Amino acid sequence: MTISVNSPANTSRTSRWSLRVLGLGYLAVLLVAPLILLFYKTFEDGLAAPWEAITSADGLHALKLTLITVAIAVPLNTIFGVVCSLLLVRHKSKGNWLIDAAINLPFAISPVVIGLSLFLLYGKQGWFEPGLSEAGIKVLFSTPAIVLACIFVSVPFVVRETVPVLQEIGTEQEQAAETLGANGWQTFWRGTLPAIRWGVAYGVVLCTARVLGEFGVVSVVSGNISGETQTLPLFVEKNYENFNLPGAFGAAVLLALLALVVLMAMNLLKRKEAA
Amino acid sequence: MEAHAAQSPVAPPRARHFRLPGVGTGLGRGYVVLWLSLIVLLPLAAMTDKSLSEGVGQFWDQVTTAASLDSLKLILVCSLIVVAINAVFGTIVAWLLVRDNFPGKSIVNAIIDLPFALPTIVASLILIQLWGKNSPVGIDFALTRLAIVVALCFVTLPFVVRAVQPLLIEMDKDMEEAATSLGAGGATVFRRIIFPNLLPGLAAGVALAFARALGEYGSVLLFAGGKSDTTVTSILIGQKIEQGNEVGAAALSIVLLLMALACLAIITLIQRWGSRHERAQGAGAGGFTIPASGGGLAGAAEDPAARPPGSFGGEDLDTGAPGTAPPRRHEDDDQRE
C-alpha cells in the first residue's frame, strides 16, 4: 500500500483537463458554434432584411398562427396534465399503467408518423370524413389540424413533470387539510396546487417550447400554405427552399430567441423547485 | 370549515389516499381516457387501419421494398452510432457538470437543453450553414450520411446528459475515495465503481435517445436531405405521403411505431430493474436514498439543475417507488474487501 501521494493527483489533473477539453469541445462544436453562426449570418448584412421578412404579411401571419396554437394547445394540455397526474398518483388503479403508457407515446413516435395518423383520420376517406364534410368543417390543411397536431405532441410534458412532484409531496398536508374541514376543492387550490406549482410550470414551459417549434407533424397536416396554414417553423423551411435566406434566417433567429427564453425559464424554475 | 370542523375530529383520517374532487370518479377518469383516446389513440388506430386496408400481403410488400429496407437499415445504423457517441460524450459532459468546477458552468448546464428548446427545423438550418457548402471553416458534409449522424447527435445530446447527471449527483464520493485510497487508479475507479452506478440511468437515457433518433425528421430534412443514400425512414414516409402512397406511408409508419414501442418497453424494464435493484440493496428503507424528484432535491446540495426535461421520470406508478430517485448501488462492501 505504498502509493505516492503526488502521482495520482497529477494523473487526475491531466485526466481532468482532457475530460474538459473533450466534453466542452464537443459542446462547442455541436451546439454553440452553430448557434453563434445563426446569429452572425442573420445580422451580417444588417437588421433590415430579417426584420422585413418577419414583418411581411406571411411572416406576421405565421407568427400569429404559431401563437394561436400555443394559446389553445398549452392550456388544454395543462388542465389535462394536472388532472391526469392526480389520477395516476392519488387514485391508483389497475388500468393506470395503460394511461401511463399512452401518455409516453407522443415522446417516442416520429413526428411524421403522428402527422400521417392525423392526416389519415381527418383526411379524405378518413374515419371522420363523412361527418365533417357534412357539417362543413375543414380540419385538414387548416388551423384545427395544426392545433390538434400540437396538442398530440405536447400531451406528455405537464404530466411527466407533475407526477414526480406529486409523489414527493405526499398526502400528509392534504389529509391535514381534510381533517381541518377543508373540502376537496379548497384542499386542491390552497394545498396541492401551490405545492406542485413549479413542477406544473416547468411542464408548461416544455409544452410551450414543443408547440412553438413543432415542425414534422405540422408540415404533414397543414399543407404549408403561405399566409394561411404556415407556422413559423414551416415559414423557415419554405423560405429556405425558395432561396429566400434572409426570410429563413429572420424567422429562425426569432425561434432561437424564443428557445433561449425557454431555456432561461427552465433554469429559473429548476432553481425555484430546488429551493 | 363550519359543519365539517366539528365532525372531523370524531372521524379519524381515512387510511387510504386522500381523494381530490372529481378526479377519482368516473368523470375524471373518463375525461383522461377520452382525451387520450381522441387526441392520441384514435389517429394511431386510423393509421393502423389504413396500413392494413389492402391486406397483410400489401403491407408486407410496402415494408420490404428495397427503398424501405435501405431507409430502415440506414436509420438503425446511424442511431446506433449516435447513441454510442452520445453515451461517451454525454457521460463526460455530465461528469464535468457535477464533479468539476470551471467558469461558466451554469451557462454550460443551461445550454445542454438547447436541442430541446430549439425547433428541429432551425437546427437543420444552422447545421447546414456550419457544415454545408457555405461553411465558414471549409468543411462541407451536408447531404451525406455523416450529416445524419451529426444532426442526430445534436438532437439527442440532452437525453444522455440529463439521465446520467442526477445519478452522479447522488453518488457517494466515499466509494471512490475509498477505492483510490486502496490504490485503485482512475480507470479502475471508473470501471468498477462509477460506471456500474451510472449504468441504469445511462441505459435509460440511451434508449430514449435511440427512440428519438429513429423518428427524427426536422433536423435531418434540410441538412441530410432525401438523396438516395441519405433517405432515412421518416423522410421516406414524408416522400410517400407527398406521392399519395398512403398505404405505403402507413405501413412504414407502423414499423417505426413498433420500434418506438419497443424502446418504451425497454425503458420501462430498465426502470423496473433499477428500482428493484435499489430495494434489493435495502437502500430504500435504510435511509440512504434521497427521494429526489428528478434530482431536484438531491441536486440542491450541488446543482439544482439536473432535471431531464421531457424525461420519463423514473416513477414506477404500480409499485409507488419514491419519485425518480435514480437507482443506486452500494458497493462499499465489495470495494473494501
Handedness of CA A26, A29, A31, A33 (dihedral sign): positive
User: Do residues A31 and A52 share a domain?
Assistant: no
Express each pLDDT in A107-131 by its tens digit. 889 999 999 999 999 988 888 878 8
If pLDDT is split at 50, 70 and 90, which confidence band does A9 have?
Answer: low
Here the CATH number for the domain that contains residue B148 is 1.10.3720.10
User: Do residues A145 and A195 share a domain?
Assistant: yes
**Could you give the CA distance from residue A264 to residue A97 in angstroms, rounded to a whole number?**
34
Extract the C-alpha cell encoding B172. 457517494
Of A152, A155, A209, the CB nearest to B116: A209
| Exposed / middle / buried, residue B177 (Cβ in 10 Å: 0-12, 13-18, 19+) | exposed
The predicted model gives A202-223 an average pLDDT of 93
When divided into structural domains, chain A yields a total of 2
pLDDT at residue A10, as a whole number: 62
User: Do residues A79 and A215 share a domain?
Assistant: yes
Express each pLDDT in B172-224 by its tens digit. 788 888 888 888 877 888 888 888 888 888 998 999 999 999 999 999 999 99
Extract the C-alpha cell encoding B217. 425528421
Question: Which residues, including other chains, have CB under 8 Å from residue B330's CB and lie 6 or more apart?
Answer: B172, B281, B283, B288
**One-letter amino acid for residue B127 of the chain:** L
pTM: 0.84
Question: Which residues, including other chains, have CB under 8 Å from residue B54's CB and lie 6 or more apart?
Answer: B247
Residue A2 lies in a domain: no
Give how far B298 is from chain A: nearest CA, Å: 8
- Chain B residues in contact with A263 (beta carbon < 8 A): 110-111, 113-114, 117
User: Do residues A118 and A212 share a domain?
Assistant: yes
Residue A99 lies in a domain: yes
Question: Which residues, including other chains, have CB under 8 Å from residue A185's CB and lie 6 or more apart?
Answer: B21
Q: Enter the DSSP assignment of B326.
A: -
Residue B127 lies in domain: 65-259
Mutation pick from A6, A10, A98, A113 vs chain B, by most beta carbons of B within 10 Å, is: A113
- Chain B residues in contact with A19 (beta carbon < 8 A): 92, 95-96, 100
User: Do residues A120 and A184 share a domain?
Assistant: yes
User: Do residues A11 and A111 share a domain?
Assistant: no
Determine whether the interchain pair A156/B122 forms a contact, defined as Cβ–Cβ distance below 8 Å: no
**The pLDDT of residue B95 is above 50:** yes
Q: Enter the DSSP assignment of A32.
A: I
Residue A1 lies in a domain: no
If pLDDT is split at 50, 70 and 90, which confidence band does A182 have?
Answer: confident
Here the CATH number for the domain that contains residue A264 is 1.10.3720.10
Angle, in degrees to the nearest 10, between helices B26-36 and A96-108: 30
User: Do residues A214 and A81 share a domain?
Assistant: yes
Residue A135 lies in a domain: yes
Mean residue pLDDT of chain B comes to: 79
**Per mean pLDDT, which range of A1-15, B72-86, B186-200 is the poorest?**
A1-15
pLDDT at residue A49, as a whole number: 86
Give how far A229 is from chain B: nearest CA, Å: 17
- Chain A residues in contact with B237 (beta carbon < 8 A): 110, 112-113, 116
**Per mean pLDDT, which range of A120-129, A246-255, B47-56 is the poorest?**
A120-129
Residue matched to cell numbers 457548402 = B133
The SS3 assignment for A93 reads: coil
Calculate the CA dihedral of residues A230, A232, A236, A239 and round it to 10 degrees. 40
User: Do residues A17 and A57 share a domain?
Assistant: no
User: Do residues A213 and A178 share a domain?
Assistant: yes
Residue A201 lies in domain: 47-274
**Could you give the CA distance from residue A159 to residue A141 in angstroms, rounded to a whole number?**
29
**Could you give the CA distance from residue A119 to residue A76 in angstroms, rounded to a whole number?**
21
**The pLDDT of residue B309 is above 60:** no
The residue among B324, B260, B268 whose CA lies nearest residue B297 is: B324
Residue B147 lies in a domain: yes
User: Do residues A62 and A126 share a domain?
Assistant: yes
User: Do residues A25 and A127 share a domain?
Assistant: no
pLDDT at residue A15, as a whole number: 82
Of B33, B92, B238, the CB nearest to A99: B33
Mutation pick from A100, A120, A220, A241 vs chain B, by most beta carbons of B within 10 Å, is: A120
User: Do residues A71 and A205 share a domain?
Assistant: yes
Chain A to chain B, count of Cβ pairs less than 8 Å apart?
Answer: 368
If pLDDT is split at 50, 70 and 90, which confidence band does A267 have?
Answer: confident
When divided into structural domains, chain B yields a total of 1
Residue in A with minimal Cα distance to B28: A83
Extract the C-alpha cell encoding B20. 381530490
